Chain A
């Protein structure tokens, strides 16, 4: 888009969609590079610091670890409280008749544009998503489907797109297939570049020719494995109509990774449900929320910032920060507390699953690149209040730091003073009491997992006939894996991502293979 007059003033800056330090020059480049280094240094510094303390100041390390274990127990209780509340709200929202809820509004002028970026996923997966959209209780003629394929995916993807258009073209108001060209200079191959291209194509070929107003179009971008619940669009419309500033708002559903939950291995199930639970917790504290994965936003808002960034990995959350900054802080996320179903990350083999889960979480945790972006632009945008900048900055910093350091400190380094401490420390009651105390506190924190286990059972799709009832027991007990999954599939990939960013070894977009076993 060479003409940038439609962009909001702040979005017209040349560095507005910066993806990494190397795209800047001079002082800005050095500052951005400094910001890229900070998260990795903070995390490594913390972990090495705990080891150093354990070795040279074991008493201080022991006090710190006891305090940290208590903090963890309280944090678990605090988050469990939010989780349980959101679970109640989510179930309530599922039980509501949203058609009746939106009956009072005049929304016939609204269009639902659904962008479905896909790569090499099977026809079965694409078809299931379109089927679920067709099954929603919403006027299909006001739904615009944009099936966004990739040129690099080859002929097979084009054949699937054509087949889908032929099958579903008449069901929806409009069905557009776009093909994102490969190797566009300045772009990173990935979901963001494909979605942006698709949105612009939809504007050119559908909205403008039909005179559809951008502020009358709600865009929902869904991963290709997303299966909608019947009232998603009614729920979305209700929240859009009741929002204080509907065009200055993104709408976030709860992604439940349970399409294939009965077939996925235990590790994949626990990791997937943990991600869901984290999003549920965030739904109850929207001031800390950014958009994640599948979400909805007005076309007007997207157009004003130039759509999703095409030069970085975590475009799903970056679009929120783009919108917040471009609107000088006057932007927010409204949690829908209404689910969309997606696939748990599963491969045909356990090892393959573990590799995929690791890579997916490495990609997700590479969202730390947003920290640099936010802080960089907070120094540039003077219209956002200092208080808000500090709050957001600290929340983001704490989030990325704790994601990496907390599990490792708790489950591994909690025992460091015992192994590394001085002989003087080893003779003390403190040295003997430390592992007992940490163990007991972690057991106490594990009660939070009981809540998780119960909630996860209520969110299961119907049991396939070939699956034994005993599997419910496995699904309940699997949560004891959490200490392991937190370290292997959260902390370590997070540290990996931060280290890469710190060293300037920038990541590319890794497409999660969608496999139905």
Chain B
């Protein structure tokens, strides 16, 4: 009888403990969002390398700390050694360790980072197949603009789809230019590991390339007001054919004077006027 009761409670405690350990070790079961980009792996690699080296260095410090706590704890008969640690030998040893940390961590991640910036993130794609998109965030929505069939912005055939909807073809470099209408926003694609601020008065450039089709979320990463948390867009990655069809569907029609009919009433509430015009034509980057 007693045994049964004990078993019952043990079981209960065990299941409770299991659920606690699951969340206690968050890092072991929480992964970043799935990477669906050409270059996202580079960022994951830098993070992984840093993970490993800082775990090693932190463990050394903590193990030394724990060892010292046991070995040198105050107890009868134990005294400290008078040692100021300022001899030439000591100073050289500490400085050498500082340099070792710098060489083994910083220089490596710096080299990785510079290489990735040069080869990927700051190496903007050129050529015919690059899809150019202009992004103009405003409180609290994302506006997108495609150049249309003539490949030029600020012309009659520019495509301005429904707000918060961005479509891109898979396996094609996408070059975006971004400038906000009102306050600072930040265009964040968690699944692509990239982010770029949109600051009033300047046009920023960023590129990415999708390797898988699907629907992904666009988040605003810079505080932009009370509905900042709902400033969410959708990025649809689809095949070239689907993308072209979508672009054609969204092309401006003769009778339509206003592209803003689908404005989400709820989000619109309390908002300022919707900008009439896009402020900038495509800014050529070197």
Q: Do A and B originate from a single complex?
A: no
